[in-house]
Structure 1
Amino acid sequence: MIAGLLRRKGPRRGWTNTVAATGWGESTFAELAWDKSRGAAFRWGVAGAVVGALIGLIAFAPAAWLAKGVASATDQRLLLSDARGTVWSGSAVPVLTGGPGSRDASALPGRLDWTLGVAGLGFEIRARHACCLNGTTVLRIRPGFGRMAVTLVPPAGGWVGQWPSAWLSGLGTPFNTLQLGGALRLTSPGITFESAQGRWLVKGRADVELIDASSRLSTLDSLGSYRLTLAGDPAQAGTSQLTLSTMEGALQLSGSGTWGAAGVRFRGEARAASGDEAALSNLLNIIGRRDGARSVISIG
């Protein structure tokens, strides 16, 4: 009888042990699943914080970053001084300098305001400067693999901006010696500068006009007005044409050259109009190499 009771209770004890073992396993698996879920949530939280920080950093990137980029791209000849705001919407004072180590500097009056936004596959900069720009000037930047294109959108009226010629004195020699008066005007029907394989290609045209120029090196109230044209040359890929001409004036300037992978190569000359030789003699000595009545201009 006792043996019979033991035989009946044997399977019952086995069933109890199995339940206990199964309960322990389910509890362990639940804890592991919870730890795994908590670890994944933590990683997602960290990732979200990092992404949020990056978005905030980009959205509120200080204007000083753009100023550093412009200074680096121009070898510190164009500075955006006292930059305020963000890369996307800011302002600064444009300053011309002679480059690293130069003591020459010349600032424009007022502040240059800009906004930067995404446009298609690139970016668009819209700039305003009450003293010097014709309304809103638009630059479109299109980056690519190993190349970048910057396009100046032609403004209404054709002229982009006008600056005092005295601003050039910030570039140092020879402008700080010439102490030019008058105005610089930039006009363009549209022009694109494209960087490819380390070279800049030009498509379109731009004219820089020096209007009613004067100099402290001459007793004349006005030297004249001049035009320097930069135009892409379809016949010579990677080379742009430079042309200097006199619009009117006592000082006669002319010349031509190219801008390409080898840099700027230019040959020109300066002469005095009949009757103004004495008044322009000192200036002709500064402009280039004197050769009789003319002064030879050579770059590159």
Structure 2
Amino acid sequence: MKRGRTWRGIIAGTCVVLGAGVLFLIALAPATLLDVGLRHATEGRLRLAQARGTLWSGDGVLEVRDETGHAVGKDLSWSLQTHALWRGRLDFAVAIDHAGEAFPVRLSMRGIELSGADFSLPASALGVAMPQMAALGPRGELVFHIAKFSRVGEALSADAVVTWKDASSAVTAVAPLGSYELRFNSVAGALSATLRTLNGPLRLDGHGSWRGSGALGLSATARVDARYRSQLTPLLSLIAVERGDGDFVLQLGPPLGGALSPGGLKEP
């Protein structure tokens, strides 16, 4: 009996020592390691610039980057929640732009999970994330609400909405063009996106998908009110094909397998 208690004591002591060693390494590991992980997971589209501190606690600038290195970013800070270390995962409290409440981000050997994230970016980020949009010089505000997101292995799951408020463009005097909502849901381990118009003279409707690599594939129709057609046709011609009577069809990112056929899109 004493021998059994002795072995249990040795095992428990070893676990404490190893746990302390892990905490020590995390406390010393530089924050730049987070940039390495982001760069690898997003094929370089998300980066943590000016990273300071350690994995335990730090700050930097979360950037969305295009292939040329052009970036749009927001301040980001994080702190490690130590209670989860014993479960073999890293739980962080993350805040963006020093505003609002921090939201949880969980990293483990299985993948990444986050929930309750609310933040905004300038609409110029659209031109970074979708290079075809750069020619429009997008303006306005992108508001993100991520109720939940996870990537476990190759499987993606999400309940999220991105709203483009008071959308406008550097190449037209018509402003605002409208406000638009892009909603993400999970379908068969990938993300399905639905685009709809909230208001405005330029009405957009479409759908897309993302499987975790490459750019979001989005197919949509655009319809312009008659009184704005002469002003907005040159704008839409930069990224879309005109069907006539103020209707346009556009494809952003990879093609979606026939989505541009006349019956492939839902008319607004």
Same fold (TM over 0.5): yes
Shift of the 103–206 alpha-carbon distance from structure 1 to 2, 3 Å rule, reads: closer
**Aligned-pair distance for 1:266?**
3.6
**Aligned-pair distance for 1:57?**
3.7
**Aligned-pair distance for 1:56?**
4.1
**Aligned-pair distance for 1:153?**
2.4
Please give the residue correspondences for 1:1-300 in structure 2 after superposition, counting only pairs within 5 Å: 56-99=24-67, 102-108=68-74, 111-118=75-82, 119=84, 120-130=87-97, 133-143=99-109, 147-148=110-111, 150-154=112-116, 160-171=118-129, 173-188=131-146, 190-196=147-153, 199-202=154-157, 204-233=158-187, 237-260=188-211, 264-292=216-244, 293-298=246-251, 299-300=254-255
Shift of the 93–117 alpha-carbon distance from structure 1 to 2, 3 Å rule, reads: same
Shift of the 171–154 alpha-carbon distance from structure 1 to 2, 3 Å rule, reads: closer
Distance of 1:122 and 1:53 partners within structure 2: 15
- RMSD, matched Cα: 2.9
**Aligned-pair distance for 1:280?**
0.8
Identify the structure with the greater helix proportion.
1
Shift of the 130–248 alpha-carbon distance from structure 1 to 2, 3 Å rule, reads: same
Distance of 1:81 and 1:182 partners within structure 2: 24
Task: Give a deviation string over 1:243-266, Cα, whole Å, max 9, x none.
Answer: 100000111100123334897554
The answer to whether the Cα contact below 8 Å between 1:106 and 1:168 also exists between their aligned partners in 2 is no
The answer to whether the Cα contact below 8 Å between 1:287 and 1:295 also exists between their aligned partners in 2 is no
Letter in structure 1 aligned against 2:200 = G
The answer to whether the Cα contact below 8 Å between 1:284 and 1:294 also exists between their aligned partners in 2 is no
Which one is further off, 271-280 or 284-293? 284-293
Larger gyration radius, structure 1 or structure 2: 1
**Aligned-pair distance for 1:171?**
4.2
Letter in structure 2 aligned against 1:283 = L
Distance of 1:71 and 1:261 partners within structure 2: 14
Q: How many residues matched?
A: 232
When normalised by structure 2's length, the TM-score is: 0.75
When normalised by structure 1's length, the TM-score is: 0.68
Shift of the 261–139 alpha-carbon distance from structure 1 to 2, 3 Å rule, reads: closer
**Aligned-pair distance for 1:152?**
2.4
Of the two structures, which has the highest relative contact order with CA contacts closer than 8 Å and spacing of 6 or more? Answer: 2
Task: Give a deviation string over 1:256-287, Cα, whole Å, max 9, x none.
Answer: 23334897554311121231111211221123
Residue identity over aligned pairs, in percent, reads 29
Structure 1 residue runs without a partner (length 5+) = 1-49
